[in-house]
Amino acid sequence: MSKNHNDSSDKPSNPSRRSFMKGFGVTSLGAVAAGQGLIGSLEACAPATGSKTLGPGIVPVTLRVNGKNVRVNIEPSATLAEVLHEQIGLTGTKTGCDRGACGACTVLLDGKAVCSCMTLAVDTVDQKIETIEGVGDDKRLHPIQQAFIESDAMQCGFCTPGMVLSCKALLDANPNPSDSDIRKAVSGNLCRCGTYPKIFQAMKQVAQLK
């Protein structure tokens, strides 16, 4: 769950209609998904709420993305997923459902996995944003990425960036996760190709290296 989700003192006094609708959307989807047994937990997809009210109109903000300060001019209604893709050019973060149900857009905010499609970019000012581009690259794969390759834990790869980041959030917080911990960590990430057994295998492999 994002850092601020349960902290009512941090909630903006005048939330936008979009953030209200998004909050409503994730709650409704969570109820439906849980009822159908599709998603074990939507914690990672809770919308982030910030302490500042910005706008209306385009506002200049500085985001801390993968260790670098990035200056962008954004609409207060722009999601982090939109800004990462369209303004910062980081396309590794995928958008699947755009409503908090699939986890493809997972990024880390101050080390915690959140859905960037459910997070307003203006709410991420002053937080550390980590995308898949910050985890590793072709010449320097993260151990989780290496383990995914060795375990053949991907098919089409669409869910993989989000999966890797959810796994990273878990391992950074808990280097020796149980099977249950691993399942819970990726329970908000849907893989339509059904690679879960391989993902669990990869995670166990990485955990044994620690």
d(CA 26, CA 35): 14
Q: Distances in Å between the alpha carbon of 12 and those of 20, 25, 53, 69?
A: 11, 19, 6, 24
Q: Give the nearer residue to ligand FES in terms of CB position, either 92 or 174.
A: 92
Those residues with Cβ within 8 angstroms of residue 208's Cβ, 6 or more apart along the chain or in another chain: none
What is the SS3 assignment for 78-115? CEHHHHHHHCCCCCCCCCCCCCCCCCCCEEEECCEEEE
Shortest spacing between CB 19 and ligand FES, in angstroms: 15
Among 29, 186, 195, 202, binds ligand FES (CB under 6 A): 195
Pairing mode, strands 106-109 and 112-115: antiparallel
The CA-to-CA distance between both ends of the chain, in Å, stands at: 25
Nearer to ligand FES by C-beta: 46 or 117? 117
Residue 16 CB, shortest distance to ligand FES, in Å, is 18
Quick one: which segment of 14-22, 55-63, 101-109, 170-178 binds ligand FES (CB under 6 A)? 101-109
Nearer to ligand FES, 41 or 174 (CB): 41
State the binding string over 129-168 for ligand FES (x if CB under 6 A, else -). -------------------------xxxxxxx--------
Report the DSSP beta bridge partners of residue 184: none
Helix-helix angle 143-150:196-209, to 10 degrees: 130
Q: Which stretch binds ligand FES (CB under 6 A): 9-17, 33-41, 131-139, 188-196?
A: 188-196
Scan residues 10-69 and list those touching ligand FES (CB under 6 A). Answer: 45
Tell me: does residue 91 bind ligand FES (CB under 6 A): no
Calculate ∠ Cα 65-71-74, nearest 5°: 100
Per CB under 6 A, the list member of 30, 50, 96, 134 interacting with ligand FES is 96
Site of interaction with ligand FES (CB under 6 A)? 45, 95-98, 100-105, 115, 117, 154-160, 191-193, 195
